[in-house]
Amino acid sequence: MKRIFQLTFTVLAVAIILQACSTTKSVVGTNNGPLRGTWTLTNVSYEGLVPGAVQNVFDQASPASFVNSTWELPNNGNGKYTLSNGTSQSIFWSYNNADKANPIFQFKKIYEGEKANKIAEGYQLNVAQVDDTSMTLKSPVANGSKTAYIVYTFRKQ
């Protein structure tokens, strides 16, 4: 009987060690690679909206206030953006390309002492285009029965 317990314990210990040594697995559709880096927002334009129709974006400032802002997007997701007037905002961001035809850039604002997993609200923008030097994000806005967009154009630093 003692031998059975020893054998069972040994098998369990080996199984735990093998499991602990296994490679990590990534979540499908969450590779931040294409957006990683430091970006400057160079232009804000509109599709289906007249300029000035939207007064406030990201619950912070007018779309024009974001022109020349710097967005730091490190691979670990703990980034920030800084407006041209010096105002900074910490964010937790990710790139979700589970739907290859409609990838999404999403972020949550993080304030002092907060943890991203405790914040339920955030922002999602459609990734219209991204390459090594430029990126275009589109924020959907309801315009009657249609969807209009605020279009953000970025240049990589």
CB atoms within 10 A of CB 100: 7
pLDDT of res. 32? 74
* Least confident range of 48-52, 92-96, 121-125: 48-52
Highest mean pLDDT among 13-17, 21-25, 48-52, 105-109: 105-109
Q: What is the DSSP letter of 16?
A: H
* Between residues 22 and 64, the one the model is more confident about: 64
The pLDDT confidence band at residue 124, using thresholds 50, 70 and 90, is very high
Nearest to 94 by CA among 81, 82, 83, 108: 108
Domain ranges for the chain: 29-156
Provide mean pLDDT across the span 44-61.
94
The pLDDT confidence band at residue 51, using thresholds 50, 70 and 90, is confident
Class of domain 29-156: mainly beta
Instruction: Say yes or no to pLDDT of 123 above 50.
Output: yes
Instruction: Say yes or no to pLDDT of 91 above 50.
Output: yes
Instruction: Say yes or no to pLDDT of 114 above 60.
Output: yes
Angstrom distances, CA of residue 144 to CA of 45, 51, 93, 137: 19, 16, 30, 22
Adjacent-strand bridge partners of 138: 126, 151
